[in-house]
Structure 1
Amino acid sequence: MNWKSEILAAQHRISGYAQVTPVMTSKIPGYPIELKLEQMQHTGSFKARGAFNTLISSDVPEAGVVAASGGNHGAAAAYAAQALGYPAKIFVPELAGPSKIALIKQTGADLSVVSGEYANALTAAQAHEQATGAMQIHAYDAPATVAGQGTCFAEWDAQGLEADTVLVAVGGGGLIAGALAWFDGARKVVAVEPETSCALNAALKAGEPVDVSVSGIAANALGARRIGQICFDLAQGMSSVLVIDEAIAEAQQMLWKAHRILVEPAGAAALAALTSGAYQPEPGERVAVLICGGNIAPDPLAG
């Protein structure tokens, strides 16, 4: 697959639907880094890119769309479906939390909350797909999803990205697959995962995707039990680091104190690799961090 052409086609497709998110320079780790603020995307995460690309490039059946999500993908899929006039059925696990569940409800989608973790929601979504003929929008392991997420990095390049190295948080792998597909070795891409939700790191060590247990403060966004095959195929030989929950929470606080940027734990995970020392740049290495999500729970401004 020619990923660059797929990503450029996706960028053209979703223009006018997805937000162009801002970039900035920060000195939070003690040295300058570039940030892209993708938590300012529709529904508070990068996920809207893949959802819009999937829907616009597909023949959506009368039954509409169905998605399983830890929260952010469900909100994005529901938002994109509403914007394009399609019915949406969304399944989320209980661990999605009240803030993300409320966000999905606001779109008007038909929402079902299932017990357990993301894998349980995916099973329910697949059953709904079989029963109704609805189109599944996969959260991360589908070419249209990956190409849509890749538009984030094509956009960043056009905004003047200078970094040698880009740090990206990983759940199921759709976002970092988009980064790897777009940069294609032109920039170093570093995967950052919580120690307690590390499907990509485990897969790279095992030589194949494997099931992992999922827990921790970022589990409702980075809590995929198994890395996507597309991501795994693109990720061979890449750098992968792990961070602890305390480091993620500290990075959240640093973003707020330094810039008044409020993000969910997943949104601060990649930054935590720098602030905790889990990833230490070489002298002169220029570094960038993708801030991926802002749906903090509980919603600090909820009435």
Structure 2
Amino acid sequence: MQQLSYGDIKAAADRIVGRIRPVALSRVDPGAIRTAHPDPLDEGPQKPCEVWLALEHMQHTGSFKARGAQNFLAAHREAGTLPDAGVTIASGGNAGLACAWAAQQQGVRATVFLPETAPPVKVARLRKYNADVRLVGAEYAEALGACENFAGATGALASHAYDHPLIAAGAGTLLEEIRQQIPGLDTVVVAVGGGGLFAGVATAAQHHGVRVVAVEPENCRALNAALEAGEPVDVPVDSIAADSLGARRTSGMALHAAQQDRVHSVLVPDSDIIKARQALWDHRRIAVEHAAATGLAALLAEPRYDTRWNALPQPGDPFVPCRSYRPGNGERVAVILCGANTDLSSLTNQDELQ
């Protein structure tokens, strides 16, 4: 299994500087996020938590994936391993868009495989980045098989949506930028799908002593299930956020990062994800995909625990998940909003976040 180091993230930051948009931060209104009950043994002054939204949905192509895609191609160009056949990927989602965009920036060919059922709007966006779009089969697995065959036959460089150290390292640069803008950052909250963003962010956070709250939909719990089993395992996928967080299996890199200290697993129901996404729109006019609202959902939800384990989370048992996260006294928290590729027609006016 390929591992990720903090040095990989620093190298990625040097490669992609000037090629990606530095993340912008927006502070949440005081009192909007409730803190945990104060420790009766803590005699110090009580302070409200400080929460910032990391607006990574404003990144090129509408998601953090642009960071990893740029790092992946730039590293191969540096090493002289970027073939004439260019790069190929099977993904009609954020990873495919980022790969096509980064290839255009690097002046190389991108061949993107999608199932024939892919929405025309995604196909059009990919072609806007000059990608060679190949529609194959009715399911993603068929498109992936065609992509692998294409790479083998042409020598094209095969990319991956999340399970590659260069991809994860690029994503990890986000934590470096957040820390530069929030001195004394205590906690970063990140939504988890396959684990590329989480692996990068958690590796950087471990280096700096920052707590990581890994949030997954309760019915897309690939990382949490891997922590429970001690190895990556296949899980069912059934969530409103499955289009971005619906990996059936997490990466080994993500599991390794999650097994380190100061990582907390949180599972949230779809109902809380929907409310958090709506709240961002109603009160800030921020339009994000459901995956991007998943982290915030953990902070807005009522404190509760998953009764399947009949126990509260204990140190050394990170797979026993909370169903919410409450910041402590004076805790400084950043919540990553990771993507904006969404259907705006699904947003209506409701009041959830004051």
TM over 0.5: yes
- Partner in structure 2 of residue 10 of structure 1: 12
Matched, 1:290 2:333: no
1:29 aligns with 2:33: yes
What RMSD over aligned residues (CA atoms) do the two structures have, in Å?
2.3
Q: Aligned to 2:112, which of 90, 94, 108?
A: 90
**Residue in structure 1 matched with residue 257 of structure 2 by the alignment:** 234
Alignment of 1:59-98 (within 5 A): 59-69=81-91, 71-93=93-115, 97-98=119-120
Q: Find 1:131's aligned residue among 131, 153, 156.
A: 153
Deviation of 1:123 (Å): 3.3
Contact 2:4 2:253 in 1 (8 A): no
Identify the range of structure 1 (149-158 vs 291-300) with the bigger mean alpha-carbon deviation: 291-300
- Unpaired runs of 5+ residues, structure 2, are 35-48, 303-322, 347-354
Q: Is the 8 A contact 2:167 2:196 kept in 1?
A: yes
CA distance in 1 between partners of 2:102 and 2:152 (Å) = 22
Distance, in Å, in 2 between the alignment partners of 1:198 and 1:239 is 13
Question: Which of 187, 195, 215 is the aligned partner of 2:238?
Answer: 215
* Counterpart among 261, 285, 289 of residue 260 in structure 1: 285
User: One-letter code of the match for 2:237?
Assistant: V
Structure showing the higher helix proportion among its residues: 1
When normalised by structure 2's length, the TM-score is: 0.79
Would the alpha carbon gap of residues 137 and 170 (structure 1) be closer, same or farther in structure 2, given more than 3 Å must change? same
Distance 1:39 1:139, change over 3 A: same
Is the partner of 1:57 in helix, strand or coil? Answer: helix
Counterpart in the other structure of 2:180 = 158
Contact 1:168–1:192 (8 Å) recurs in 2:
yes
The 3 A distance-change label for structure 1 pair 280 and 101 is same
Q: Tell me, in whole angstroms, the C-alpha distance in 2 between the residues paired with 1:174 and 1:274.
A: 22
Paired residues of 1:50 and 1:147 also in contact (CA < 8 A) = yes
Q: State whether structure 2 residue 164 is matched by structure 1 residue 142.
A: yes
Distance 1:195 1:70, change over 3 A: farther
Q: Is the 8 Å Cα contact of residues 39 and 294 (structure 1) preserved in structure 2? A: yes
Is the partner of 1:53 in helix, strand or coil? helix
Q: Within 5 A, what are the aligned runs for 1:95-114?
A: 97-114=119-136
More divergent stretch after superposition (285-294 vs 72-81): 285-294
Q: CA deviation at 1:160?
A: 2.4
CA positional deviation for 1:120 = 4.8
CA deviation digits over 1:228-259, x for unaligned, max 9?
Answer: 11111121153111111121111111111121
2:325 aligned partner? 280
Q: Is the 8 A contact 1:95 1:220 kept in 2?
A: no
The ranges of structure 1 where at least 4 consecutive aligned residues each deviate by more than 6 angstroms after the TM superposition are: none
Report the TM-score when normalising by structure 1: 0.91
Aligned-partner SS, 1:67:
strand
Distance 1:173 1:111, change over 3 A: same
Quote the offset at 1:103 in angstroms.
Answer: 2.5
Q: Say whether the 8 Å CA contact 2:287–2:344 is kept in structure 1.
A: no
Q: Does 1:270 align with 2:316?
A: no
Deviation, structure 1 residue 82: 0.7
Aligned-partner Cα distance in 2 for 1:132–1:109: 16
The separation in 1 between residues aligned to 2:194 and 2:234, in whole angstroms, is 11
* Consecutive unaligned residues in structure 1, runs of 5 or more: none
The 5-angstrom pairing of residues 112-127 of structure 1 reads 112-114=134-136, 118-127=140-149
Instruction: Tell me the alpha carbon deviations over residues 141-189 of structure 1, each in whole angstroms, 9 at most, x when there is no partner.
Output: 1111111111111111112254311110011101010111111160110
SS of corresponding position for 2:12: helix
Aligned-residue identity in percent: 48
Deviation, 1:32, is 3.8
Contact 1:34 1:163 (C-alpha < 8 Å) held by counterparts: no
CA–CA distance in 1 between the matches of 2:156 and 2:71?
17
Residue-pair matches, total: 301
Quickly say closer, same or farther: Cα 1:161–1:67, change in 2 above 3 A: farther
- In 1, the alpha carbon distance for the partners of 2:118 and 2:254 equals 23
Distance (whole Å) between structure 2 residues aligned to residue 213 and residue 124 of structure 1: 24
**Structure-1 separation of matches of 2:343 and 2:118:** 9
